[in-house]
Structure 1
């Protein structure tokens, strides 16, 4: 929680010093419209993540079973953990810095810079620094996803759609299918075989190439370009 508060404070300070704007410049209002964008984004990536997990079960010939030890309280705590981690990343990569860059050098270059930074960041978060092939694959995959989310920010003039897109994927991947650092949560994979090199590559491509491309198509053709809402600190 402290990390989020620090990120919000730093974002607000940067917006004030450079653009004379408040944190509201990141597109929180109107609440109804932004909540709708958030929910749409969440449902899109949650569905795509569930489909990739289904593909993995087919490739592995495994099954998913409900964790008998799971409780509503555990799910809520896991969801809150996902919210905190996602919101922190959004404030860094699709927050004040991206907003300021767009004002200074335009949307196209800014979105590309944000995507590249997001890809490089995941070298460290996934612990693949030094493994050249893994670095290339994760840079492409997470960079594409970062590009889609940054483009969503640019078109909607709001952090809420990329926040929903990001959280829908992370919550489904981490909490629903127990792939995150919190261990076994709602569903647990049982049985099946280890993926071969080719099936592992196919599984990777489905999650970190095909999914971002689908999100990019959604942002390109279904998200309308919106005018910037001018909100100053005065």
Structure 2
């Protein structure tokens, strides 16, 4: 929580000092419109995440079973963890800095810079620094997704759609399918075989290439460009 408060404070300070704006410049209003954008984003990536996880299950011939020890309290606690981590990343990568960059150098360059920074950041958060092949793959996947989310910010003039897109993926991936650092949560994978090289490649491409491309298509054709 302290991290979010610090990120908000720094964002507010940067917006005021450089653009003479407050935190509302990141597009939190009107509430109804922004909540709708958030929910649409959440559903899109949430559904895509489910499809990717069931593709992996199919390729491995494994099954998903409900964790008998899960409780509503644990789910809420995990959701809050996902919420905090995603909001912090959004404030850093799709927040005041991106807003200011767009004002200074335009959307195209700013979106690209944001995407590159997001890809490089995940070298550290994924712990792949030094593993060249892993660095390339992580950069491609997270960079593409970062580009899609930054483009969503630019078109909507709001952090809420990229926030929804980001949280939808992370919550389903981490909490529902127990793929995150919090361990076994709602669903647990049981049985199955190790993926072959080609099956592993298909699984990688679906999650880190096809999903970002689908989100890019959505942002390109279905998200309207909005004015201030």
**Which TM class, normalised by the smaller chain length?**
over 0.9
Q: Residue in 2 aligned with 1:43?
A: 43
Q: Secondary structure at the match of 1:32?
A: helix
Q: Residue in 2 aligned with 1:122?
A: 122
Q: Secondary structure at the match of 1:182?
A: coil
Q: Residue in 2 aligned with 1:188?
A: 188
CA distance in 2, matches of 1:188, 1:154: 37
Q: Secondary structure at the match of 2:188?
A: strand
**Cα offset, 1:201, TM superposition:** 1.3
CA distance in 1, matches of 2:133, 2:182: 27
**Cα offset, 1:125, TM superposition:** 0.5
**Cα offset, 1:19, TM superposition:** 0.2
Q: Residue in 2 aligned with 1:112?
A: 112
| CA RMSD across the alignment | 0.4
**Cα offset, 1:66, TM superposition:** 0.3
Q: Residue in 2 aligned with 1:167?
A: 167
CA distance in 1, matches of 2:86, 2:201: 26
Q: Secondary structure at the match of 2:129?
A: coil
CA distance in 1, matches of 2:25, 2:197: 46
CA distance in 2, matches of 1:194, 1:35: 41
Q: Residue in 2 aligned with 1:78?
A: 78
**Cα offset, 1:197, TM superposition:** 2.0
Q: Secondary structure at the match of 1:82?
A: helix
Gaps of 5+ in 1: 229-234
The CA deviation string for residues 16-42 of structure 1, in whole angstroms up to 9 with x for no partner, is: 000000000000000000000000000
Q: Secondary structure at the match of 1:189?
A: strand
Is 1:21 aligned with 2:14? no
**Cα offset, 1:199, TM superposition:** 1.2
Q: Residue in 2 aligned with 1:63?
A: 63
Q: Secondary structure at the match of 1:180?
A: coil
The CA deviation string for residues 189-231 of structure 1, in whole angstroms up to 9 with x for no partner, is: 0000011222111111100100000000000000000001xxx
Q: Residue in 2 aligned with 1:102?
A: 102
Q: Residue in 1 aligned with 2:141?
A: 141
CA distance in 2, matches of 1:40, 1:18: 32
CA distance in 1, matches of 2:142, 2:78: 22
Is 1:208 aligned with 2:208? yes
CA distance in 2, matches of 1:226, 1:86: 24
Q: Secondary structure at the match of 2:217?
A: helix
Gaps of 5+ in 2: none
CA distance in 2, matches of 1:119, 1:36: 28
Q: Secondary structure at the match of 1:29?
A: coil
The CA deviation string for residues 66-100 of structure 1, in whole angstroms up to 9 with x for no partner, is: 00000000000000000000000000000000000
CA distance in 1, matches of 2:124, 2:213: 23
Give the 4+ runs in structure 1 shifted more than 4 A.
Answer: none
Q: Secondary structure at the match of 2:128?
A: coil
